Amino acid sequence: MKALHVFWLRFANTFKKEKSDRSFDEELEAHLQMHTDENIRKGMSPAEARRNALIKLGGIEQTKEIYRDRKSLPVLDVFVQDLRYGVRMLRKNPGFTAVAVLSLALGIGANTTIFTVINATLLGTLPVHEPSRLVELDTIDKQTFVTSARSEKLGMSFPNFQDYRRDNQVFTDLAAFQAAPVTWSGTAEPREVTAELVSANYFDVLGIRPLHGRFFLPDEDTKPNGNDVAVISYYFWANKLGSDPGVVGKPLIFNSRPYTIVGISPRGFKGTQTFLGPEQVWIPTSMKDQILVGKEKDYFNERRALLVACFGRLKPGVDLPAAEASLKTMAAHLESEFPGDNRGRSVALTPLTETAMGANEHQRLVLAGGLMMGIVGLVLLIACVNLANLLLAQGARRQKEICLRAALGAARSRIVRQMLTESMLLALAGGAAGLAFAYAGRSILWSLRPVFVQESGIVLSLDSHVLLFTLGVAILTGLIFGLVPAIKASRPDLMDTLKSGGRGGTMGWRRDPVRSLLVVGEMALALVALISAGLFLHSMQNAQKINLGFESKNLLVLNFNLGALHYDEGRGQQFFRAAVEHIQASPGVASASIASNAPFGGGFLRTVFPEGRDETSGYRGTLTQINDISPNYFETLRIPLVNGRTFNEGDRKETAAVAIVTEAMARQQWPHENALGKRFHFIGDAALREIVGIAANSVVNEVGEEEQPLIYLPMTQDYVPAATLQVRSASDPETALATTRAALQSLDPNLAITNVFTIEQILSQALWAPRMGGILLSVFGALALVLSAVGVYGVLSYSVNQQTREIGLRMALGAQRRDVLRLVLGQGLRLTVIGLAIGVVVALTVTRLLVSLLFDVRAYDPATYTAVTALLTAVAVVACYIPARRAMRTDPMVALRYD
C-alpha cells in the first residue's frame, strides 16, 4: 500500500516538475541563508560565510538532480520526453507518417474485422455456470457407412441417453434435448417457433437460474402427455409477449394444446445451438407425442434412432479424456446388451462450447477462421516489413542526429527506447485508425448478412475482447517493425558516418543483409498470402459453378406442419392432394409438389440394406438420406429422370413398395450393375422395396457437396406430416406466393406457413459465406500484393540510390548502361527468387493443412502456384527496373561529385 502511495506521489509529481523544482530551490536558498547568517555571527566576512555554506552543502546541482529523481519517476520522465520528441518527429515527416499509419491501419483493420467475426461466432461462450465443464455426448458408428459428409458425430438415442444418465460415474448429471418447430397459435396468425424438447434437468445441468418463475421440477418429464408446462426464453418473452411479467402461470398454445408458462430463462441465454435463434420454448420430453411429428415421434424411444442431443457436466476432478474412456466402456456394455441396435456403435465427447454450430462443423469452422486470420496476419506482416524498411531508411537519414546524441553520451538503450517510442506511436495511431476501418468493415459485412444469421441472434460487436485484441496487435506490430531498425540505428559506425556525412558510400548487398532479408521476407510472405487466397478463390469459383441438378429459376418453397394440427395420415394425404390440385389450378403456377424436404433441406437418414446383404450377415448397412415426394416432384423441380419411371397415383400402401434412387446411390450400392429393378430394405422393415426409377443427382444439403446418394419414396407409401411445398411459377415467384398462401389457408386457416423463400433466395443465403469469403480474400490478396509491391520497390530503389556513387564510378571506368542494368536487376531478382522459393516451400506446407476446405482444387494446384509466382516476379521486375533505369542514366560526373 505504502509503495503504491509513494509511486502515485512520484507519478503525479512528474507532471508538475517546475513547481516542485522552484520549491526545492527556495528550501536550499533558505538553508544557505541560515548557514551564512550563522557563519557571519561566528565572525566570517559575508563573502566567506556564503562560500563556506556552499561548500558544506556540497554540489548543489548534484543534490538537485538526486532530489528531482527521488521526487518524480525518472523512467516516466524519459518516456514523456521520448513521447514529445516522437510526436515532433512524426509531425515533421507528415508524408512518412501518413503512409505508415495508413498501411498499418489497413493491416490492423483487416485483422480486427476478421477477429470480430471469429469472436462473435467461435469464441462466444455460453452464459452458463462453468461452460468448460460441459460436454456433448455423440454416438459414433464404426460399421454403418454414412453417405453424407462430415457426420462422424451422430447424436444420441433417447434410451441410450437414459442408460448413460443412470449408470455413468463421471457426470454430475446428463441432459438431453431435441429441437422441433412448433406452431404457436392464439395470436392473429399462427406462427412457427423453435421448441426444444428437454429432459427436466436441462437447466440444472447448465446451471442457470430463471429470470422469472421457475424451471422444470426433477420429475416433470415423467408423465407421458401429462407435463404440459413450458419455459420460454427471455427473447421470446421480450419480442413476442412484450415483456409482460404476468405471463408466468398463464397458458400458451403450442400445436393446438395449452402449456402453462412456468418460467422465463435469463437474458443472454439463447439455448446451446447458435442457429436455432434466441426465441425459444422448452417443453419436457414427456410431451414428445404432442411436439414431434412423423418418424421423429414414432422412433423417439427406439434405441437405434439417434434423434436427441445429449450433454453432461463433468464431475469435479474428472477430465474429458477420462470421462470418454469411462463412457466407451459403458458403450461396449450397451453394445453387447443391445446388439441389434447398438452394434458397431460407441460414444465420443466434445466440449459443449464447440457444438454451438454442430460438433461436426466445428473443426472446419476453426480451420476457415484460422485461414482468414492467417491471411490477414500475413497482410499485416507485409505492412510491418514495409514499415521496418521505411524506418531503416529514415534511421539512415537520421544517423547524424543519432551519432550526435551517442557522442554526447546517450546510452544505446536510451536511443533504442527513443526509436521504439516512435514506432509505438505509429503502431497505436495505426491501431486507432484500424479500429475505424474495422468498424466500417463490420458494418458492411453486417448489412449483408443473410436471414439465417439475422435470426440466429449472433451479435457482431466490437466488444472489450476485440478492443484488447486490436491493442495487442498494435503493440506487437510496433515491436515487430520497430525493433530491428531501432537496434540497427543505435549501432552506427560512429567514425564512418561522421566521415561520409551520413550518406552511403558503396553499399553492396553483402553489406546490407537486413535490407536484403526484408526483400526476401516480403516476397515469401506475399507468395504465401496470395497462394492461399488464390486457392480458395479458385475453390469458391468451382463451388459456385456446380450444377444444382434442378432448375432454380421461378421456384418457390415453403414449409408447413400438419402434425402440429394433429392430422392423422388419412386427412394428411387428402390435404396434400388437395393442396397440389388447388395450387396447380391457380393462375401463374406451372406446377406444384409436396416433399418432406426441399433442396438444401437434407433428409431423414435411414439405414439401407440391399437385397442379399442383410443384418444377419454382420453387414451394418448404409445410412442414407431419404426424401418423401408427391408424384410431380421431378416435374416441378425439373430433375431429369435417367431411367425407369416416376411415382404415380397407382403407388399406394396396398401396392408394391417402390423407390427411386439418385445416380450416386445406384453407383454406390450397385457399382457395376443396373440398379433398376434391384431391391433393398430399411433397418427394422421386413418388406423389400423395388427401385423403379433412377433420377439425376441434385443438391441435397449444400452447394458444393459431393454427389449425394438419396432415396426418393412416394409420399403415398411413406407419409410425413411436416412437409415442404414447391411451386414452379410461370413468371415472378412472388405473384404465385399470394395465390399459394390463399389456397393453403382455404384448406385450413390454422396452418402456420413458414420459411417462405424462393430457391434463389435460399441459394444466395447458402452462398453468402463463400461469397463473403471470396470478396474478403480478394480484398486481402490485393492488399498483400499492393503492399508488397510498394515495399519491394521501396527497398530496391533505396538501395540503388545508395549505390549511385558506385554506379557512377563503374560508368566512369567504362561500364555500359547494359551492365548497370544487369547489375541492378540481377541484385533485385536474386533476392526475389530466393524469397519466392522460400514462399513456395512454406505455402506447400501450409496449404496442405487446409485441404479439407478446398473444393475441387488440389492444395498444390499448379495453375495457382504458377500464376502467383509469375505475378510476383513481374512485380519484382518492374520494381527493379524503375530504379535500374534511373541508375543507368546517372551521369558519372554528377554521381562522383555527389559527395
Partner 1 sequence: MSDKEKMDVWQGTLALMILKTLETLGPLHGYGIARRIEQTSGDLLAVNYGTLYPALLKLEQEGHIASEWGQSDNNRKAKFYKLTRAGRKLLDREERDWEQTTAILARFLTPGKESA
Q: Which three cell numbers stand for residue 550?
A: 434442378
Smaller CB distance to partner 1: residue 25 or 219? 25
Cβ at position 29, least distance to partner 1 in Å: 9
Q: Which three cell numbers stand for residue 175?
A: 441432459
Cβ at position 83, least distance to partner 1 in Å: 25
Cβ at position 66, least distance to partner 1 in Å: 5
Residues 23, 26, 31: CA angle, nearest 5 degrees = 130
List residues near partner 1 by CB under 8 A.
2, 5-6, 9-10, 24, 26-28, 30-31, 33-35, 37, 56-60, 62-63, 66-67, 70-71
**Residue 784 near residue 530 (C-beta atoms within 8 A):** yes
**Residue 282 near residue 202 (C-beta atoms within 8 A):** yes
Between CA 832 and CA 878 the distance in angstroms is 12
Smaller CB distance to partner 1: residue 37 or 298? 37
Cβ at position 407, least distance to partner 1 in Å: 27
Cβ at position 61, least distance to partner 1 in Å: 10
DSSP state of 308: B
Smaller CB distance to partner 1: residue 1 or 686? 1
**DSSP three-state, residue 394:** helix
Between CA 723 and CA 475 the distance in angstroms is 56
Q: Strand 754-758 and strand 212-213: pairing?
A: unpaired
Contacts of 522 (CB under 8 A, 6+ apart): 382, 385, 386, 788, 791, 792, 795, 835
Closest C-alpha among 673, 674, 672, 675 to residue 659: 675
Cβ at position 17, least distance to partner 1 in Å: 14
Cβ at position 411, least distance to partner 1 in Å: 19
**Residue 108 near residue 380 (C-beta atoms within 8 A):** yes
Smaller CB distance to partner 1: residue 34 or 123? 34
Up-side HSE of residue 271: CA atoms within 13 Å toward CB?
A: 32
C-alpha dihedral sign at 641, 645, 647, 649: positive
Smaller CB distance to partner 1: residue 24 or 509? 24
Smaller CB distance to partner 1: residue 12 or 444? 12
Cβ at position 40, least distance to partner 1 in Å: 11
Cβ at position 206, least distance to partner 1 in Å: 51
Cβ at position 58, least distance to partner 1 in Å: 3
Smaller CB distance to partner 1: residue 52 or 497? 52
C-alpha distances out from residue 239 to 181, 244, 866, Å: 18, 10, 55
Amino acid letter, 116: T
Closest C-alpha among 264, 374, 337, 303 to residue 155: 303
Smaller CB distance to partner 1: residue 66 or 98? 66
Smaller CB distance to partner 1: residue 4 or 408? 4
Smaller CB distance to partner 1: residue 26 or 891? 26
Helix H, strand E, coil C: the string for 682-742 is: ECCCCCCEEEEEEECCCCCCCCCCCCCCEEEEECCCCCCCEEEEEEEECCCHHHHHHHHHH
